């Protein structure tokens, strides 16, 4: 899969991985509709790409709303033509521990999982008809392993991985390509904002491995798409961790308990 001349939608594109993806897609010759709840970062993407005028269009939208997802897709089709690539990148790190507020669980489910499902419902039939399309899901290493300190984040990222896997199995022979991005620490607001992950959850991420820049992750994504690779792991060590988990689940859980205890023993 080469992205040149393709029509792409990137959600959560106001900053972080989404912004980096939108810039690299435009630079590679794609027509990009970039969307986010916060319009500020979107305007910067569109204005900042002087070398590729008209390659990016900003649309403010909330991907937790099915009607707004539909509107973004319609806007892309009117501006550039049928959507070829969809990056379900928007995500929230809502929730602490078990999280007692159902509204927080609903937000995590809507943004991290249902937004992927709703977009796929609208795009997959057309892709099957045309024999081509690419769905890229931004999940997390937490979706393969777990997220210490946040049940909503861990559960919804597991679900995102599961949905991407199901899409690939079900429609892969009909021209629909699927990739699932599962990084560990990335230098974004999701990791650094005090209102996102709890201190323990953030510490679990930053002490597990290196914190990459969004541009590094975006490079990995485009390279994996060219190879039509399902699992995208910017942190290669995640694969080894995942293998340990599968090889001896009970031992892995005991190890994670010890890791959690060490994090909780550290001063805030």
Give the chain's radius of gyration (CA, Å): 18
Q: For residue range 131-166, what is the model confidence (pLDDT) as tens digits?
A: 999 999 999 999 999 999 999 999 999 999 999 999
Residue 74 token pair:
């319609």
Tell me which of 209 and 17 has the higher pLDDT.
17
pLDDT (average), residues 122-137: 98
Residue 46 is predicted with a pLDDT of: 77
Say which DSSP state 112 is in. Answer: I
Q: Spell out the domain ranges in the chain.
A: 7-235
Measured between alpha carbons, how far is 59 from 94 in angstroms, rounded to an integer? Answer: 24
Distance (Å, whole) CA 71 – CA 75: 6
Q: What is the mean pLDDT of residues 211-217?
A: 95
Most confident of 39-43, 118-122, 199-203: 118-122
Which ranges constitute the DSSP H helices of the chain? 16-27, 39-48, 66-79, 102-109, 115-130, 151-171, 189-192, 199-206, 214-226, 237-247, 249-265
pLDDT score of 41 = 78
Q: Is the pTM of this model over 0.75?
A: yes
Of 74, 73, 90, 190, nearest to 137 (Cα)?
A: 90
Catalytic residue among 153, 242, 249, 259: 153
Nearest to 59 by CA among 78, 38, 88, 77: 38
pLDDT digits (tens, 9 = 90+) for 226-252: 999 999 999 999 999 999 999 999 999
Looking at domain 7-235, which CATH architecture does it have? 3-Layer(aba) Sandwich (3.40)
Distance CA 232, CA 136 (A): 10
Close Cβ partners of 90 (under 8 Å, ≥ 6 residues apart): 11, 12, 18, 35, 36, 37, 63, 111, 115, 138
C-alpha distances out from residue 29 to 51, 77, 175, 254, Å = 11, 17, 22, 48
Is residue 86 annotated as a catalytic residue, yes or no? Answer: no
φ/ψ of 131, rounded to 5, equals 80, 15
């Amino acid at each position: 899969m080469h992205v040149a001349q393709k029509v792409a939608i990137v959600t959560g594109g106001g900053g972080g991985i989404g912004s980096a993806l939108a810039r690299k897609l435009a630079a590679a010759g794609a027509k990009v509709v970039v969307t986010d709840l916060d319009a500020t970062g979107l305007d910067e993407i569109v204005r900042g790409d002087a070398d590729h005028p008209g390659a990016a269009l900003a649309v403010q939208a909330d991907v937790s709303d099915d009607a707004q997802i539909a509107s973004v897709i319609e806007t892309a089709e009117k501006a550039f033509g049928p959507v070829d690539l969809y990056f379900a990148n928007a995500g929230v790190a809502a929730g602490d521990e078990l999280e007692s507020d159902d509204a927080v669980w609903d937000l995590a489910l809507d943004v991290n999982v249902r937004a992927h499902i709703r977009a796929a419902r609208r795009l997959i039939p057309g892709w099957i008809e045309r024999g081509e399309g690419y769905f890229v899901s931004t999940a997390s290493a937490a979706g393969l392993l777990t997220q210490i300190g946040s049940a909503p984040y861990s559960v919804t990222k597991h679900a995102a991985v599961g949905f991407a896997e199901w899409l690939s199995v079900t429609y892969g022979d009909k021209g629909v390509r699927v990739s699932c991005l599962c990084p560990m620490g990335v230098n974004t607001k999701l990791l650094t904002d005090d209102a996102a992950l709890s201190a323990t959850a953030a510490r679990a991420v930053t002490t597990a491995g290196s914190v990459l820049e969004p541009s590094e992750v975006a490079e990995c994504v485009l390279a994996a798409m060219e190879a039509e690779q399902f699992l995208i792991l910017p942190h290669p060590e995640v694969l080894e961790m995942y293998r340990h988990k599968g090889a001896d689940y009970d031992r892995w859980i005991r190890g994670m308990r010890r890791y959690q205890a060490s994090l909780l023993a550290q001063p805030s």
